[in-house]
Chain A
Amino acid sequence: MNLRATVTFGVVALFGTTLLTACGSNSANTTKATHKTVNVQIASSLTTMDISKSTDVVSAQTLNNTNEGLLKFGKNSSLTPALAKSWHTANNGKQYIYNLRPAKWSNGDEVTAQDFVYSWRRTVDPKTASQYAYLFDNIQNATKINAGKLAVNQLGVHAAGKYKLVVDLNHAQSYFNQLVANIQFYPQNERAVKKYGSKYGTTSQAMVYNGPFKLTGWNGTNDTWTMVKNPSYRAASSVRLNKVKYWTVKDPQTALSQYEAGKLDITNLSGSQVQQYTKNKDYVLRNSASTYYLQMNEKKQPFFKNVKARQALSLITNREQFVDKILKNGSTVANGVVPTKMQYRDGQDFATASADKQMTAYNEAKAKQLWKEALKESGKSSVSFDLLADDTPIGKNTTEYLQSQFEKLPGLKITNQNLPFKTRLTRESTGNFDMDISAWNADYPDASTFLDLFTTNNEYNNGKWSNKQYDQLMKTADGAEANDATKRWDTMLQANRLLTNQAGIVPIYQQAAPQLVKSNVKGVIYFPTGANWDYSKAYLTK
């Protein structure tokens, strides 16, 4: 019996290993996509089609391709006109005026300036309970309306005729157009919202569309849905695909098998798959506007008020080694909290221009020296801290790696705590942590979405780092220089360098979105914030 069992087990194990190894060498068995359809893998279900309630990237990208707003993002987050054919500012940058071009909803109604007014009011209305209402905060009265202190019709946006939209801001905001290109600022058809009531946006039928595609085949909970070309789209002739079909495939290995079997044209890669495919001709690495950084709680652990202690932690972190040898998933080193490939000016990348390569380079000797000085200055011989992070495989990799690095510093003891996402968030926001791996992803492609977080009174500044010079820089950038793009850019570069240099937070890595894309799929537009994807110009070659 023992011998037999061993042999049987051995055979099964061998069989299994052979199969698993064979997975890697399988050659692509591509079937040509027919009828101009692109099959796209997506890792989670579509949860809503209500513009005011969308919170995730799946609904955002579906909405972005089935609807259209004033402006939209092109390659490298450049702004391109959509429904707005022209726009200008007035009142010293506090008023934005958009001139619209004619367009139609899929129910035959005209798209008018009033649809924008209605949509924005609906999102800001506290009754809607939108989780993105804060994007509207700079529009006059938005915060008061959202707090229930003013009627929604007091919102600083109005239609001056059918095709003219006027927006009044509290203060000049140089990146307001970057906000407007997000799906939250898209118009909504009041007649449809009223008609479908509580069902609005919960199925593909209970929604109207004004974008390049219309959604079909989504019953509200199913895992496949299709965007078909919208004949009533204003520029329908420029849309070259007939269909974009989405498949929810949550398991990365399954997705890869489906891609190899020719069932998918675009799929995401994760974990060890990335390394396996970096040399594949279909491999495309997309950068996310999302940075992971170490946050040190100066309120709970005043030891971290010592700049040398924080700098030591930054210098002892070997970012290259971490992303290349541990993560190996396409993530890149972060030389500052603002991600690369997000914001450009005159062809210059903000993150590259403001990178502090010295403070983010591995320097063990200097780190140890700074750490010893910090200990001495605080009159301590040893310290021990908890390090908090997500309980995902990547979160665990991060804490394990950082623990091994940090403990090279004399007298430092680290205890890792890996927690479920929402638990970690709660611990962060209540200040119940010593050190924490936090992440921020950009809502809009402007460095301020990251840099604002670390001003003294910002609610998300959970580490409570405080620097007067930094506060002043950010105040100037969004105040006196709000209408001077060049000066503002330089000021924010300074702020970012200061943040990294003072190790107010310690940037670790920037997340990436590696993909496989069939070589005959062309013209898909990717941008790293918000909805990420635009298929309106996509097409298939033979």
Chain B
Amino acid sequence: MAKYLLKRLFYLLLTLFIVITITFFLMKLLPGTPLNNQAKLSKSQIAVIYQQYGLDKPVWQQYLSYLGNILHGNFGTSFQFSDQPVSYLISSRIGASLQLGFQAIIVGVPIGTLIGAIGAVKKNTWVDTTTTIISILGISIPSFVLAVLFQYFFGVKLHWFPIANWGSFIFTVLPTLALAVSPLAESARFMRTEMVDVMNSDYIELAKAKGLTKIGIIYHHALRNSLIPLLTVVGPLAVGIMTGSMVVENIFSIPGIGELFVKSVLTNDYPTIMGLTIVYSVMLMVVLLITDIIYSLVDPRIRLTDKG
């Protein structure tokens, strides 16, 4: 196990290095400058400012010095937020995104799993149809439509929850619900498909033949075996949601990193683009690693070794 983890860690760092390198050079191909006032700066004025930021040097030199800096834990300062260290910018804004994403997964995945399982057990009945419709609607209705509907209905009309902004837990309810719909629907759909498969497999037939109760079969055999593939989807899904949804963060005025990422690309805020790319990649890779470890816990047939 230790050896396996070391090896995975090595691959993780290698992948990260490749991601950083590719992003860095691609990013430099973006037209325009990172300067907010680009429209009004002359070429010579831009040159003066570039010199201060070392942006006048060849790209490979900038790349090497960036690598050197991040090895020393220095991620540079943002251009959008003048002089603000990128590490502070991200750390002070990622909390909101993580919290919302986490809550959305906690709400969405169990309910989705349950709905999917019920659908599979009651296959081809009205129950199945209803759950299928729910998951199709959940996938096809964009979160911003739901967000606006929630906002209007629960915020403006019923005054149950704040319409927007960030504060106590109550502020997180509506954005969490808006975000939870997609993981709910995804896991319901996935769970149903998997479970229908499992329910048709030989060992379930065997269990039935042995005379086990239906509840026992579903709980001990069908559910557990269907959960394994579900893990594959939920991991990356969780990362996607936890790194912030630009749309939902915008609608609910949440100080997260979703919108920051998009805006940093649009404004050529190089250090912020890089910082967020690194955060995003590390989170994704760590989650994938954790998923693999959980696999081995859920399914004893999977062993985390190098042999075979």
Contacts and interface: CB of A to CB of B under 8 A. Distances in A.
B37 interface: yes
Interface string B226-264: 000000000000000000000000111101000100000
Chain A, interface residues (CB within 8 Å), range: 35 or more
A46 to B, nearest CB: 9
Nearest to A432: B31
Interface stretch (B107-115, B159-167, B216-224): B159-167
A222 interface: yes
Contacts of B43: 429, 459
Contact of B31 (A56, A224, A422, A440): A422
Interface string A1-35: 10011001100100010011011001000000000
Given A16-B145, A45-B81, A223-B166, A131 B253 contact: no
Contacts of A126: 48, 51-52
Nearest to A426: B31
A134 B45 contact: yes
B266 interface: yes
A251 interface: yes
A253 B80 CA distance: 25
B33 A422 contact: yes
Interface in B268-294: 268
B82 to A, nearest CB: 4
Contact of A261 (B30, B88, B141, B155): B155
A132 interface: yes
A301 interface: no
Nearest to A219: B92
A425 B155 CA distance: 41
Interface stretch (B11-19, B146-154, B202-210): B146-154
B255 A53 contact: no
Contacts of B266: 420-422
Contacts of B48: 126, 129, 133, 146-148
Nearest to B35: A131
A50 B82 contact: yes
Interface in A276-311: none
Contacts of A55: 35-37, 82
B88 A221 contact: yes
B83 A198 contact: yes
A425 B35 CA distance: 12
Nearest to A206: B83
B297 interface: no
Nearest to B153: A19
B60 interface: no
B150 to A, nearest CB: 10
A348 interface: no
Interface in B156-188: 156, 163-166
Interface string B1-38: 00000000000000000000000000000111101111
Contacts of A47: 80-82, 84
Contacts of A260: 156
A221 B253 contact: no
B44 interface: yes
B99 interface: no
Interface in B112-131: 126, 129-130
B250 A422 contact: no
B71 to A, nearest CB: 21
A221 B40 contact: no
Nearest to A5: B133
Contacts of B84: 47-48, 202, 220-221
Nearest to B167: A224
Contacts of A1: 129
A423 interface: yes
Interface stretch (A93-101, A242-250, A405-413, A469-477): A242-250
B32 A131 contact: no
Nearest to A2: B129
B253 A250 contact: yes
Contacts of B39: 425, 440
B200 interface: no
Interface string A85-113: 00000000000000000000000000000
A378 interface: no
15 contacts: A4-B133, A19-B152, A48-B82, A129-B48, A133-B48, A148-B48, A221-B81, A221-B92, A224-B165, A254-B251, A257-B151, A420-B266, A423-B30, A440-B39, A460-B40
Given A134-B40, A260-B156, 20 more contacts: A5-B136, A19-B153, A20-B152, A23-B156, A53-B82, A55-B35, A126-B52, A131-B35, A131-B36, A133-B45, A220-B89, A221-B88, A223-B255, A250-B253, A251-B164, A251-B253, A253-B148, A422-B32, A423-B30, A460-B40
4 residue pairs, one from A and one from B, having the closest CB atoms:
A422-B32, A48-B82, A131-B37, A55-B36
Interface of B: 30-33, 35-45, 48-49, 51-53, 80-84, 88-89, 92-93, 126, 129-130, 133, 136-137, 141, 145, 148-149, 151-153, 155-156, 163-166, 250-253, 255, 259, 266-268
